[in-house]
A and B are shown apart, each in its own frame.
Chain A
Amino acid sequence: MIKLRDIHKAYKTEFTSLQVLKGIDLDIQEGEFASIMGSSGSGKSTLLNILGILDEYDSGEYHLAGQLMKDLSEKQAAYYRNQFIGFVFQSFNLLNFKTAVENVSLPLYYRKVDRKLRHEKAMHYLEMVGLKDWAGHLPTQLSGGQQQRVAIARSMVTEPKVLLADEPTGALDTKTSHEVMGLFQKINEQGKTVLIVTHEQDIAKVTERIIEIQDGVILTPQQV
Chain B
Amino acid sequence: MKWVDTEKWNEIFISISKHKLRTALTALGVFWGIFMLVILLGAGQGLQNGIAQQFRSDAINSLWIYGGSTSLEFNGLPKNRRIIFNNDDYLEISNRFPEVPYLAGRVYLSNNLILKYKDKSLGYSVRAIHPDMRHIENINITKGRFINEKDQRDIRKVAVIGEIVRQDVFGGENPIGKEIMLGSTAYYVIGVSFDAESDRAQREILIPISVGQVVYQGNENISNLGLVTGDMNEGEVQALEEGIIDILAANHQFNPADERAIRVNNRYEDYKNVQNLFFGIKAFLWFVGVGSILAGIVGVSNIMLIIVKDRTKEIGVRKALGATPQSIISMVLSEAIFITFMAGYMGFFFGVVVLYLISGVDSDFFRNPEIHLGVGFAAVLILVIAGTLAGLIPARQAAKINPIEAMRS
Contact = CB atoms under 8 A, between A and B. Distances in A.
B402 A54 contact: yes
B317 A95 contact: yes
B324 A74 contact: yes
Nearest to B11: A109
B318 A106 contact: yes
B319 interface: yes
Contacts, number: 73
B325 A75 contact: yes
B407 A91 contact: yes
Nearest to B317: A93
A87 B320 CA distance: 7
A154 interface: yes
Contacts of B7: 109, 112, 115
B318 A52 contact: no
Nearest to B324: A78
Interface in A155-191: 158, 166
Interface stretch (B13-21, B118-126, B360-368, B380-388): B13-21
A166 B321 CA distance: 14
Interface string A83-119: 1000101010111011000100011011110010000
A78 B404 contact: no
Nearest to B5: A112
Interface in A64-94: 74-75, 78-79, 81-83, 87, 89, 91, 93-94
B323 A110 contact: yes
Contacts of B399: 74
B324 A75 contact: yes
Contacts of B15: 97
Interface string A25-44: 00000000000000000000
B404 A54 contact: yes
Contact of A49 (B321, B322, B400, B404): B404
B318 A110 contact: yes
A78 B317 contact: no
Contacts of A49: 402, 404
Contact of B321 (A45, A102, A106, A112): A106
Contacts of A94: 317
Contact of A97 (B18, B320, B324, B326): B18
A81 B320 contact: yes
A52 B317 CA distance: 13
A78 B407 contact: no
22 contacts: A49-B404, A52-B320, A54-B402, A54-B403, A54-B404, A55-B404, A74-B325, A74-B400, A81-B320, A81-B322, A82-B322, A89-B320, A91-B407, A97-B18, A98-B14, A102-B14, A107-B322, A110-B318, A110-B322, A110-B323, A112-B7, A154-B321
